[in-house]
Structure 1
């Protein structure tokens, strides 16, 4: 799955956003960032099918578990980004369901929906991490303010 330049750049973006969340985020962002890394690595480990329009059940289950985690975070967190991330992840899961039901979607539609959903989750996590980091920095007293 990392055989093209596009997939390698996507991996760099994916890991960069997750590293940002793990380093600068609060508990919700760190949990989501860690889960995204684990889900990505698990998907790389189990994805063997080259047919773009067929769903591999292990990848579907990984995406369902990630959706469940994001829904749980959206219930538990007082922030908005997990709700949006869960919505984008539901697009990813829905594309799997549609393919399992065999509604014959074209490969470009399958890949487009997966990409929009995946990058939507990453953007939500990046924005949520940025705002958590900025909020934490804004309330932290500066050294020159103490003198």
Structure 2
């Protein structure tokens, strides 16, 4: 259980940094990741044996986060959200694996659904640092892709 609290501390720190120093994509991602972590902790609080069966509540939180990340990825003028979305899709896929084969070992299911969280948080921090550096170097940084421009 200590590793869960360590992760929450890392997530809170990374999200706080993104909220303070990031552009819109970093702030939205930081907020979404923080809300997903908090929601998951509330959902899992009443489960006596974690990952023994399909974690429906956690799957719903993961699916909502995946949709949010897809929207951010499609509109952000950044590349790192695509990596976050892909890694989170892998974690969300663990629920699909458990649904297809209920015999998936409990530890494998738990690891597959959670291991991607650490690189996702790292990508958020890297994205926020790079955004801050672009602001310092150029004085501005475009947050969202310009959809109104026509290709000629």
Alignment gaps of 5+ in structure 2: 141-152
CA distance in 1, matches of 2:37, 2:3: 16
CA distance in 2, matches of 1:115, 1:130: 24
Superposition TM-score, scaled by structure 2 size:
0.83
CA distance in 2, matches of 1:77, 1:140: 18
Q: Out of 34, 39, 53, which is 1:37 matched to?
A: 34
Q: What's the CA shift for 1:99?
A: 0.9
1:123 aligns with 2:125: no
CA distance in 1, matches of 2:54, 2:12: 24
Segments ≥4 residues shifted beyond 4 Å: none
Counterpart contact for 1:35–1:66, Cα < 8 Å: yes
Alignment gaps of 5+ in structure 1: 142-147
Counterpart contact for 1:52–1:110, Cα < 8 Å: yes
1:136 aligns with 2:104: no
Match of 2:70 in 1: 71
CA distance in 2, matches of 1:11, 1:78: 28
Q: What's the CA shift for 1:57?
A: 1.6
Superposition TM-score, scaled by structure 1 size:
0.86
Q: What's the CA shift for 1:35?
A: 0.9
Match of 1:105 in 2: 104
Q: Out of 9, 18, 21, which is 2:6 matched to?
A: 9
Match of 1:91 in 2: 90
1:58-107 Cα deviation digits (max 9, x unpaired): 21111001011111111101211110000010011100111122342222
The alignment of Structure 1 onto Structure 2 pairs a total of residues equal to 138
Supply the RMSD in Å over aligned alpha carbons: 1.6
